[in-house]
Structure formats: C-alpha cells, structure tokens
Amino acid sequence: MRHLKAPQRGFTLVELMVAFAIAALLMVAAAPYFADYGSNARLREGGNTVYTEALMAQSEAIKRNRAVRLSTAASTVQVHDVSDDTNPVLLRERALPAGVTVATGSVSFGSQGLPADLTAVAIDLSSPLVACSADNRCPGLRVDGGGAIRLCGNHLDCP
C-alpha cells in the first residue's frame, strides 16, 4: 500500500524573495510622496493651530469686553489681554509643530470681535524644508475688516 503525500502548503523561498523585492520597489517609489505628505500634514496642523488661536482671541475679546491681541513670531502663537497697554497679560501660548514657521504679525480684536483698526490682516505659514507651491501647500490665515476669520489651504491662492 502506498502512502499519499499531503499537498504542500505555504510559500517557497523563491516566492517570498520575489514578494519582498516587489514590496521594496514599491516602497522606494512611494518614499518621496510620504515626505511630501508629512510636511503638508505639519503645515496643515500649524495652520489649524493659528486659526484656533485667532478664534480664541476673538471670543475672549467679546467675552471679556476688552481688547485681546493675537501675535505670531517664528514658531509660537500668543494671545494677550491688552486692555492695559503697559502690562499685557498672556492668556495662552502655543508652539507650532517642528519645522513650521509663521510670519511675524498680530491682530487686535476689540470688544465686539472686530479687528481694532478694521483692516484686513494676513498671516502666512511656511517651512524651511519645502518651497510653497501647488503641491506643497503652505496655509495662510486671513482676518478681514469685518472680523471674519478664515484659513486658506494655500496662501499662494488666497486673496
């Protein structure tokens, strides 16, 4: 009586090596896109931080019924109660993600939530690691004279 062999299961060594080679080629081809995705994600997070702090400054000005200023420099965003010009009170300070810088700028909101001088303000974000373009989007914060705050996905396309 002959014994029947069970069919082989699994992969051969050659099949595994081919699969790993194909996976390695795909990863090498996708690596530049992962880098762009990471830098865009950091810039988007920084833009959301500046946007959130601008909304917070505006709502604090209305709530406190006094002037509150949003100021940006290098990689930080600060909100101050500036009702006393000689001694502004820091309400909140937030750091931007690593590798994200913001243009130096400020906007003061009055007790009604409008910019103090009723002029539009633009604050743009950038990264020294990437050049801003249609592919590498650097967000920009816009505050118009009527108090509307918006975050543009790419400050190159934002009026």
Q: Tens digits of per-residue pLDDT, 58-77?
A: 999 999 999 999 999 889 99
Contacts of 139 (CB under 8 A, 6+ apart): 43, 44, 46, 47, 50, 124, 125, 151, 152, 153, 154, 155
* pLDDT for residue 135: 73
Dist. CA 137–CA 94, nearest whole Å: 22
What angle (nearest 5°) sits at the alpha carbon of residue 72, between those of residues 156 and 75? 85
11 band by pLDDT with thresholds 50, 70 and 90: confident
Q: Tens digits of per-residue pLDDT, 128-146?
A: 878 888 777 889 999 998 9
Dist. CA 38–CA 116, nearest whole Å: 37
Residue 55 has pLDDT above 80, yes or no: yes
Domains of the chain: 13-152 (3.55.40.10)
pTM of the model: 0.79
